[in-house]
Amino acid sequence: MSVLIVGSVALDYLETPFGKMDQALGGSATFCSIAASYLTENIRMVGIVGEDFPQAHVDYFASRNIDTLGLERVEGGKTFSWGGRYHEDMNTRDTLYTVLGVFEHFHPVIPDEWKKSEFVLLGNIHPSLQLEVLDQVEEPKLVVCDTMNLWIDISLKELKQVLKRVNVLVLNDEEARMLTGERNIFNAGKKMLRMGPSVIVIKKGEHGAVLLSKDTTFIAPAFPLGGFKDPTGAGDTFAGGFIGWLERTGDVSVANMRKAVVYGSVLASFCVEEFSIEGIRELSEEQIAERFGIFRTLSTF
Amino acid sequence: MSVLIVGSVALDYLETPFGKMDQALGGSATFCSIAASYLTENIRMVGIVGEDFPQAHVDYFASRNIDTLGLERVEGGKTFSWGGRYHEDMNTRDTLYTVLGVFEHFHPVIPDEWKKSEFVLLGNIHPSLQLEVLDQVEEPKLVVCDTMNLWIDISLKELKQVLKRVNVLVLNDEEARMLTGERNIFNAGKKMLRMGPSVIVIKKGEHGAVLLSKDTTFIAPAFPLGGFKDPTGAGDTFAGGFIGWLERTGDVSVANMRKAVVYGSVLASFCVEEFSIEGIRELSEEQIAERFGIFRTLSTF
């Protein structure tokens, strides 16, 4: 089995109260794929980069068994870049700039031999591009979709078309409220379950994550961290860990998705501890197992 | 064994987006005692009311096995009253008025036969009054202290004296940040553990509660509610359920405090569903057991 991951690949500029970093490897496909790579070896990445994208990053992907056959490289093109500055409280941020570069004319092309991928993660990109991916894949076992406030704001119609065709929607609490007009996340969850997905996962940052289906409410705490340096990519990392566990086990039951939420949370906890991908660049099985074990004790009574 | 509960008894005016209520039974001792009464029958209430305090409320306390020997009644006096209006988001509120009435000259007097109470709950009142209680009780097995932002603001010195003499501090996340200057609640918890208590319980409202000791981190979700009508007294109710369980079992280990947090959360979930004490006025054992059981499944993976 394998996971097909489609999303952005970026060279970002990040500024938080703890420092700054230029030319930082980022993008939804990047974080999703690296996170998933700690749980499965069968990762197929689809995205686009420009001529400026360092070969070292491509080599790093390969070292983590991330297949980049679907990563298009445009000669003379410039890689997508986002510049952001986080405020003192780390809960809000300003976009300093967005340079689309090669992303402006991107249309994901799924290699023929990848069209039968069993697990598909539609990383956070424009819903129209997510639809193009859905039109190319053949009877996937599970489709997980991530999104963001921008698309709810400017492409709601396309996003709703996507939602009709996915199994799991992953988004944060603010986005859940935007999408449904419901302040209460359980009521928001009920509304989203009527939009198509049979499972909704709402990420609440430092307050953990909630998984909702018709019959299930699962609430996971966030890993207790004394602080963090850069929240960029935490949501993508969560989604990658989530689908990685499901692919590894081949079990898409809601019961198994509880564990998937915890793996997503474990990987996101490492992600935020350092800038860019540094927190998840090189993790050992032991590090992941240790935090997973702590999660077991956190809510036990 | 028995629980001694000291705090305010009030007739409040409440206004939320869901309605309003005048002459509403309230006060920290009220909510704490009612909540504890679902877990133990040995509750000793110390507080003060005026001549206007309806006998029906005193009778109700008696019907729940709450001993009001320590509830002073001042002839000609007026019962403490707080008027508050909650904003649309229910997270913030304005104080419309505060009438101290008989509370202005209140000094808690612990009846002689209650001075050896094993469990003491210092409900949310001025820290100087909490100190007066501590001076009267004799070697309690466990002292739990609640407080609020007002006392951190205007009586920090006295509050710090209280903290040196209690085992467990219960407060909300905003208060934890105010008291320590730490935004991160785990760091705030570490600082508070150095102030005296060996256990800190931080209430996070809809995001649940966190219990911290030197060696333990326990994170409980909040009960998943589709909405609530009036958050007044939820924190007091939590504290009452918390100490009620500890008294019932006689076990003050940190492991047992995890269950106590869940009982506190269960009772608080009923409290917020109706105005004033109506949500917890008459609960069955089955109702409480059902929500406790749901808590068991909420975070299991």
- pLDDT average per 10 residues of sequence, chain B (301 residues): 97 95 97 98 97 98 97 97 91 91 96 98 97 98 96 97 98 97 96 98 96 98 94 97 98 98 98 97 98 96 95
Do A186 and B299 count as a contact with CB atoms less than 8 A apart?
no
Name beta bridge partners: A99: A81
* Count of positions (residues) in chain B: 301
**Digit-coded pLDDT (tens) for B231-243:** 999 999 999 999 9
CA–CA separation, A70 vs A67, rounded Å? 8
Contact A199, A213 (CB under 8 A): yes
Amino acid letter for position B285: E
Work out the minimum CA distance from B172 to partner chain A, whole angstroms: 14
Work out the minimum CA distance from B165 to partner chain A, whole angstroms: 27
pLDDT beyond 90 at A89: no
ipTM of the complex: 0.92
Mean pLDDT of A109-118: 98
Which tokens hold the place of B202?
Answer: 């931080």
Q: What ranges in B194-284 are assigned the alpha helix state H?
A: 234-249, 254-271
pLDDT band at residue A260 under the 50/70/90 scheme: very high
Q: Crossing angle for the helix pair B156-163 and B127-136, nearest 10 degrees? A: 30
CA–CA separation, B267 vs B283, rounded Å? 9
Which tokens hold the place of A109?
Answer: 């092309």
pLDDT beyond 90 at A7: yes
Minimum mean pLDDT range among A81-90, A190-199, B29-38: A81-90
| Rg of chain A taking only CA atoms, in angstroms | 18
pLDDT on residue B90: 82
pLDDT on residue B97: 95
CA–CA separation, B249 vs B40, rounded Å? 9
**Digit-coded pLDDT (tens) for B50-95:** 999 999 999 999 999 999 999 999 999 999 999 999 998 887 899 9
Do A298 and B207 count as a contact with CB atoms less than 8 A apart?
no
Contact A172, A203 (CB under 8 A): yes
pLDDT beyond 90 at A90: no
Which residues contact residue A92 at a Cβ distance below 8 angstroms, ignoring those fewer than 6 apart? Answer: A86
pLDDT band at residue A119 under the 50/70/90 scheme: very high
Do A184 and B227 count as a contact with CB atoms less than 8 A apart?
yes
Do A217 and B224 count as a contact with CB atoms less than 8 A apart?
yes
CA–CA separation, A3 vs A121, rounded Å? 7
Amino acid letter for position B267: L
pLDDT on residue B133: 98
Which tokens hold the place of A48?
Answer: 């686009």
Identify the contact set of chain A against chain B, taking CB-CB distances under 8 A.
89, 183-184, 186-187, 204, 207-208, 210, 217-221, 224-227, 258-259, 261-262, 295-296, 298-301
Work out the minimum CA distance from B9 to partner chain A, whole angstroms: 31
| Residue B62 CB coordination number (10 Å) | 11
| Average pLDDT score, chain A | 97
pLDDT on residue B251: 98
Contact A170, A242 (CB under 8 A): yes
Contact B56, B277 (CB under 8 A): no
Which residues contact residue A267 at a Cβ distance below 8 angstroms, ignoring those fewer than 6 apart? Answer: A35, A38, A237, A238, A240, A241, A280, A288
pLDDT band at residue A91 under the 50/70/90 scheme: confident
Mean pLDDT of A5-15: 97
Q: CA-nearest residue of chain B to A216?
A: B298
pLDDT on residue B164: 98
Query: Which residue in B219, B261, B295 is closest to A298 by CB distance?
Result: B219
Do A218 and B301 count as a contact with CB atoms less than 8 A apart?
yes
- Dihedral of the alpha carbons of A123, A125, A126, A131, in degrees to the nearest 10: -30
| Residue A278 CB coordination number (10 Å) | 16
Mean pLDDT of A186-215: 97
pLDDT beyond 90 at A105: yes
pLDDT on residue A92: 85
Local structure of residue A150 (DSSP, 8 states): H
Tokens 């991160």 locate to: B184
Which tokens hold the place of A230?
Answer: 């850069």
C-alpha distances out from residue B108 to A166, A208, A217, B47, B104, Å: 62, 42, 45, 7, 12
Tokens 């297949």 locate to: A67
Contact B221, A217 (CB under 8 A): no
Which residues contact residue A25 at a Cβ distance below 8 angstroms, ignoring those fewer than 6 apart? Answer: A10, A11, A12, A57, A276, A277
Work out the minimum CA distance from B230 to partner chain A, whole angstroms: 15
Tokens 């086990």 locate to: A249
CA–CA separation, A176 vs A185, rounded Å? 7
Do B221 and A219 count as a contact with CB atoms less than 8 A apart?
yes
Contact B107, B125 (CB under 8 A): no
Beta strand A43-50 with A93-99 is unpaired
Residue B157: half-sphere exposure toward Cβ, Cα within 13 Å: 0
pLDDT on residue B91: 78
Which tokens hold the place of B268?
Answer: 């608080």
Do B226 and A259 count as a contact with CB atoms less than 8 A apart?
no
